[in-house]
Amino acid sequence: MKPTKFFSLLIPATLLSVGLTTALSTGRAAAQLYNPIVLGTEEVNDTLSTADIPTGFGGFAKDYVVTLEAGDQITIDAISDEFDTLVTLMDANGITISENDDGPDGSTNSLLFARISEGGKYTIRVRSYAGEGSGPFSVKLARLRPI
């Protein structure tokens, strides 16, 4: 075999190998980048920072996944002394079901009420209002049950 034929086959094979390796490692990295926290009915203490999901509004968000049943009535509290919280409930397709900025107590903490019409996985997103602020916060989901 002439050296030119060898090199003409080696270079495309090397580029293919590098491309596949890059695509695989990029896929793994992407899978690690978005990994929302599973939320039960416990309160979670967390921190909103620049390492979280960019919102496109200049701020960042943190997501939690929860499985809800049709007929569930829920409240979601998001509380922070460091920033004005904004909480959003989204369905499995990312469509906003409900959103709350300030709770009824006049504070900048969020309190969202929702009645779930269709069971499935939902995302609770906590972010700062207008993308301003970060720091520690707590989020709690409560299922309201009839007595």
pLDDT of residue 16: 47
Q: Would you identify the CATH topology of the domain 37-144?
A: Jelly Rolls (2.60.120)
Q: What is the pLDDT of residue 29?
A: 47
- Please list the rounded mean pLDDT of every run of 10 residues in the chain (147 residues): 53 49 49 76 90 89 95 95 96 95 89 95 95 93 79
Query: Looking at residue 3, what is its pLDDT?
Result: 57
pLDDT of res. 58 = 85
Domain ranges of the chain: 1-33, 37-144
pTM of the model: 0.75
Cα 92 to its chain centre, rounded Å, is 12
- Check residue 5 and give its pLDDT: 55
